[in-house]
Amino acid sequence: MVNHILAPEPVSISPDLDQELIPEPTPEDLLAIGHEQSPYLEEELPQGEGADPGHGQSPYPDFVRLYLHEISQVPLLTLEEEVELARKVREGNEALERLSQATGLDRGLIQEVVRARTLGRSKLDPQVDEVDTRLKSLPRELKRYLHLVREGEVARQHLIAANLRLVVSIAKKHTGRGLDLLDLIQEGNLGLIRAVDRFDYRKGFKFSTYATWWIRQSINRAISEKARTIRLPVYMVETINRLFRVIRDLGTQLHREPTPEEVARVMGEDWDARRVEEVLSYAQHTISLEIPVGNDEENFFGDFIPDESSPSPMDRAFQSILKAEVEKALEHLTDREATVIRLRYGLADGVMRTLEEVGDILHISRERVRQLEKKALRKLRYGRFSRKLQGWR
C-alpha cells in the first residue's frame, strides 16, 4: 500500500514546520500558481517512472522505482472528488475538536489512535492504547463524533495518496540544488500533508493549486537548511524562486535575458533594479573552503581556488606585449600628446586622472588637455599603426 511507503509511523506534521510559521498563501499567490503551466501530472508518470519496478529502464534506484510504481496506481481525483474528500477532512477535524472537549482526552492522542487504526497498525504506545480503550466505551451520542473523525482520516489519507505524484512532479524541478530526489520527495510530502490539513475547499481554489504552495515551501525550506553553507530564511528562498520564475517567463516573452529594471516592474512596486541584483546575489550557492580534497584529506578545496585579483601568467604576458605596442604607438605623438594619454589612462602608474588633474600637472587648462587628448586619440585611431592596436580589442 502507498500509505506504508508514505508513513511508516502515524502521519503528523513536522514540529519544525510549525515553528517556521510559514504564512498562509494569499489569493494572489494561488492565482499566480494557477496561471503557471499546470504543476499536476494530469497524465501518467513519464515513461519508465511509473512502470513495474521489475521491468524497463529507469534512472532511479529500485526502492525509488517501487515508490513511483505504487503511487502511480492511485487514480487521480476529479474536482468533485477533491471537494468531497476535503469536506470530510474538515468535518472530521471539527468532530475531533468536539470529541476532545467532551471527553477531556488529548486531541493529538485521539488523532494518533484513529490514524493508527486507519493504517492497520496494531501496536500502540501504552498512553495511546489507554485512549483507544476509552474510545471503545464512548456513549452513543459521542460515537457519532468518533465516526466522523474516522471518516475524515480515511478521506485525509486518500487525498494524500492521490496527490503524491504532484509532489514528485514538483520535487524533480528542484534537483541539483543540494538534495537528492528521494529527500526532496520526503520533504514535499510533509508540505502535502500540511496542505491537506489546512485546505478550505469553500474558497474555490483547486486542491492541487493550494498544495503546490505548501509543497514548494517545504522543499525550499529543506534546501535552504540542508543544502547551503550559509542558510537563508524560508521567505527569502521563496522570494528567490519567484524571482527566477519571473526572469524565466520574461526571457521566454522577450526572447532575451531581461534587464533588472524589467524584472523589478513585474515583481512589484516595492522592487527596483538594485533589489533584484541584491536578491540574485543571495541565490549564489556556497561551499566550504575547508572541504577535504583527495584521499589523504591533507588538501582543502580552498587551496585550489585561484586568486582572481591577480592576473594569470598568460594575462601578464599579454599585458606586457600590449604595453609595448602602445608605447610604440605613442612614439608617433608629440611629447605633450603622449604625456596626456599616459596620465589620462594610467599607462605609467595605473592611476587614471581627470582633465583637471592632468591640467594641474602640466600647468595647462582643462580645455587644452581635452583638445590634446582628442587629437592624440584621432592619431592613434586612424594612423598607419592603428591596425596593430585593433587586434587587441
Res 42: pLDDT: 41
Q: CA–CA separation, 146 vs 167, rounded Å? A: 31
State the pLDDT at residue 48: 45
List, as one string, the DSSP characters of 284-329: S----TT-EESTT--EEGGGG---TTS--HHHHHHHHHHHHHHHHH
229-282 and 316-390 share one CATH topology? yes
DSSP string of 84-118? HHHHHHHHHHHHHHHHHHHH---HHHHHHHHHHHH
> Sign of dihedral through CA atoms 260, 263, 269, 270?
negative
Q: According to CATH, what is the number of the domain 2-221? A: 1.20.120.1810
Residues 6+ apart with CB under 8 A from 55: none
DSSP 42: -
Rg over CA atoms, the chain: 33
Output the nine-digit C-alpha cell for 87. Answer: 469536506
Instruction: List residues bridging with 300 in a β-sheet.
Output: 292
Tell me, what's the pLDDT at 59?
Answer: 59
Residue ranges covered by each domain of the chain:
2-221, 229-282, 316-390
Q: What span, in angstroms and rounded, lies between the C-alpha atoms of 111 and 106? A: 9
> Residue 330 in contact with residue 343, Cβ under 8 Å?
no
Predicted local distance difference test score (pLDDT) of residue 5: 36
Each residue's pLDDT expressed in tens, for the chain with a length of 393 residues = 444 334 333 333 333 444 344 667 777 777 777 766 444 444 434 444 554 545 455 556 667 778 888 888 889 899 999 999 999 999 999 999 999 999 998 888 888 888 888 887 777 778 878 888 888 889 988 999 999 999 999 999 999 999 999 999 999 888 877 788 888 999 999 999 999 999 998 888 889 889 999 999 889 888 877 655 556 666 777 788 788 888 888 888 888 888 999 999 988 888 999 999 888 887 665 555 555 555 454 555 556 555 555 555 656 665 666 677 777 778 888 889 888 988 888 877 778 889 999 998 889 999 999 999 888 888 877 666 555 555 544
pLDDT (0 to 100) of residue 168: 92
Angle at the Cα of 341 from the Cα atoms of 340 and 346, rounded to 5 degrees: 105
DSSP 283: T
Q: What is the CATH number of domain 316-390?
A: 1.10.10.10
d(CA 282, CA 235): 12
| CATH class of the domain whose range is 229-282 | mainly alpha
Instruction: Give the span between the Cα atoms of 73 and 161, in whole angstroms.
Output: 10
163 DSSP assignment: T
**Residue 229 confidence (pLDDT):** 53
